[in-house]
Structure 1
């Protein structure tokens, strides 16, 4: 019944992993992908994406973090899997699911689902390169052009030695548009012997249980739903025990965003910090009407200090009210 925080390129970085795993309910997470091309990346790149490597590959809450690689060269992927483990990785994950045009154009991510044989070769190379006790896992979609490749690609990864597989319940062409095709995950799961983890369109506790019912998967990965509702995993865990807990209040969420901003300021220039805060606020609009009300003002702010003042002022006004 584990819940994994999904990797989201450009958003789920180390500070937000630290923030969200601190809220509770998340059993593990995955880094943004490390892009593998033709040259060997230096250790500083691994540490940039996964500073948790300095701390037994865990967040401060003790949540394990998998190192995710993306690339199409089996030999180089194997070498980078080996390097990740040398630096402290306890799980190496392979990205076959990214739908971004620039990534797919350079033969990375979901476009590889057109070539199950290459997916097999990449996974086999990583599996061979890392010690047996280190799990090699993968994340993919149901296909690229349509949703017909889930079983074939899943079998290719299983045969190559993948320990488990996350399946996002859409094709590349589907993008992120609802609905999620959890029933297609179920068909792939039934055809495979390795554990399958369901991903896609889990925004509420009710959708979590519906996803598990339709997909037949015991475990899920949640991305946007946890960004929109930071306590979603905690509330799901309570529901597994037959309990219901009150959702986080908006002032509590603002405090999280402020902590996140402070952590970002140690890593990024202020202009990028403001952009990341806006990304999170935009998702929070789904879960909190207060974020929707704040958004017209916040989206126009370019500097960190005014942004934090805006957030703090909003929280203080709510407390007074």
Structure 2
């Protein structure tokens, strides 16, 4: 089983990837998307999204990191994909799954699932521009408004030359509401020759086993579960429970230290609240901490509260 850390725009940045891969056994990470319009982006844009390019495209514990692109222009997606691998990305992933309204309004992400021919054109252009030894992968949802094109979209991506396909088992309209329709991933897998990766509602070992059984996929991708229960790969691989709350507090302190060192301290309060919003789905203590810091904007004051909580929990 391969476990892949999903891209999550505005959440899964370099520091969060590094933190989570340090305590997990992910086989691969995919970055937040680089937005491609009608231009060849400068190197600094790629390095900003994927600082790991400067260290062999791996996190500090050695987990490979693949850069993701989002856009609708085959020509400029191809040009930027070629630049991404030239800068060191071990392949390129294409985002056809982002449900954000602003992204979809500008012809990016899941809205492209309305047109299989457009998917084909983009993937083929990228595949033609990237040397054969580098994988070109894609992530999709089951559709935009409905699932009527789910198989046609998947086939178009395969026929265009994609190396593998990750499928989030819901449409754009379904968002992140349970359930995940793993059976549709199974139909895709049965009809494609390339590897298919299942994504959606994989929160623990039992979910992973059910997903594998229903979809027939060996490889899985997780995003939100890694933020809710940070030891997610051990939960899936070893059927253990969530890590302890004191251990989570230690992780929060590690993120605090990174944000201070990396010049993100002024943004740390909002970033921490965002993470606690996920953590409170599994930890009652996270709900309590969230309520106590909700109105606070001073990162140093928040840090004192976290240290106090850790001392009481020890």
> Structure 1 residues 223, 246: closer, same or farther in 2, change over 3 A?
closer
Q: Is the Cα contact below 8 Å between 1:3 and 1:220 reproduced in 2?
A: yes
- Work out the CA distance in 2 between the residues paired with 1:29 and 1:287: 23
Q: Report the Cα offset of residue 17 of structure 1.
A: 0.5
Where structure 2 has 5 or more consecutive residues not aligned to the other structure, the ranges are none
Aligned to 2:229: 229
Greater CA drift, 185-194 or 1-10: 185-194
Aligned to 2:98: 98
Q: Report the Cα offset of residue 223 of structure 1.
A: 0.4
- Work out the CA distance in 1 between the residues paired with 2:291 and 2:271: 16
- Work out the CA distance in 2 between the residues paired with 1:271 and 1:154: 42
> Structure 1 residues 115, 276: closer, same or farther in 2, change over 3 A?
same
Aligned to 2:63: 63
Aligned to 1:262: 257
Q: Is the Cα contact below 8 Å between 1:25 and 1:236 reproduced in 2?
A: no
Q: Report the Cα offset of residue 207 of structure 1.
A: 1.1
Q: Is the Cα contact below 8 Å between 1:270 and 1:303 reproduced in 2?
A: no
- Work out the CA distance in 2 between the residues paired with 1:120 and 1:147: 18
Q: Report the Cα offset of residue 170 of structure 1.
A: 0.3
Q: Is the Cα contact below 8 Å between 2:19 and 2:251 reproduced in 1?
A: yes
- Work out the CA distance in 1 between the residues paired with 2:251 and 2:6: 19
Q: Report the Cα offset of residue 247 of structure 1.
A: 3.6
Q: Is the Cα contact below 8 Å between 1:52 and 1:59 reproduced in 2?
A: yes
- Work out the CA distance in 1 between the residues paired with 2:164 and 2:65: 15
* 1:78 aligns to 2:78 (yes or no): yes
Q: Report the Cα offset of residue 14 of structure 1.
A: 0.5
* 1:251 aligns to 2:246 (yes or no): yes
Aligned residues between the structures:
314
Aligned to 1:148: 148
Q: How does 1:19-38 map to 2 (within 5 A)?
A: 19-38=19-38
Q: Is the Cα contact below 8 Å between 2:53 and 2:87 reproduced in 1?
A: yes
Q: Deviations over 1:260-311 (max 9, x none)?
A: 1221234444332221111111100012121122221122221211121121
Q: Is the Cα contact below 8 Å between 2:205 and 2:238 reproduced in 1?
A: no
- Work out the CA distance in 1 between the residues paired with 2:224 and 2:177: 13
- Work out the CA distance in 1 between the residues paired with 2:262 and 2:159: 40
Q: Is the Cα contact below 8 Å between 1:25 and 1:237 reproduced in 2?
A: no
Q: TM-score, normalised by structure 2?
A: 0.97
* 1:286 aligns to 2:284 (yes or no): no
Q: CA RMSD in A?
A: 1.2
Q: Deviations over 1:180-211 (max 9, x none)?
A: 11111111111111111000111222111111
* 1:312 aligns to 2:293 (yes or no): no
Q: Report the Cα offset of residue 246 of structure 1.
A: 5.4
Aligned to 2:266: 271
Where structure 1 has 5 or more consecutive residues not aligned to the other structure, the ranges are 240-244
Greater CA drift, 16-25 or 201-210: 201-210
Q: TM-score, normalised by structure 1?
A: 0.95
Q: Is the Cα contact below 8 Å between 1:25 and 1:235 reproduced in 2?
A: no
Moved over 3 A (4+): 266-269
- Work out the CA distance in 2 between the residues paired with 1:25 and 1:293: 30
Greater CA drift, 269-278 or 291-300: 269-278
Q: Is the Cα contact below 8 Å between 2:123 and 2:157 reproduced in 1?
A: yes
